């Protein structure tokens, strides 16, 4: 969806900039010749400034649309990940209960888990393994 929004706006900008009928004509162009040979010019830049401001507004609109689309996509993905994460935690706790490291207790508010002696011994051995120099 984000790519479609970007492509539509890019085509609109290219269309407005590349058409021959959109060439800019200045209302007044003055050339200044100086005695030391330097030449400069001044012109009415209203059309150029107006076009650049329209381009800036289009860019902000594209940023808003793309940001909104990305935010909505991210929100949907985070809700899906949260659902998957809950299932993974529940499955992990069930695996710990089956292995005997944790004891599951049913309460009114849901499941409650407490560590068993086997789980404590495993954690103590694991901790001593981490302290041993390799």
* 3-class secondary structure, 107: strand
DSSP for residue 101 = S
Question: pTM to 2 decimals?
Answer: 0.36
For residue 97, pLDDT beyond 80: yes
pLDDT digits (tens, 9 = 90+) for 25-82: 566 777 778 888 888 877 777 767 777 788 888 888 888 888 888 877 777 666 666 6
């Amino acid at each position: 969806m984000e790519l479609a929004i970007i492509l539509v706006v890019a085509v609109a900008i290219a269309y407005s900039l590349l058409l021959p009928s959109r060439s800019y004509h200045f209302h007044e162009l003055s050339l200044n010749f100086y005695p030391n040979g330097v030449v400069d010019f001044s012109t009415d830049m209203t059309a150029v400034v107006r076009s650049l401001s329209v381009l800036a507004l289009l860019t902000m609109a594209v940023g808003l649309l793309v940001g909104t689309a990305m935010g909505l996509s991210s929100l949907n993905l985070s809700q899906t990940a949260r659902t998957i994460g809950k299932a993974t935690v529940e499955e992990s706790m069930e695996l710990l209960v089956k292995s005997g490291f944790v004891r599951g207790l049913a309460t009114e508010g849901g499941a409650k888990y407490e560590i068993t002696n086997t789980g404590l011994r495993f954690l103590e051995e694991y901790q001593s393994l981490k302290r041993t120099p390799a």
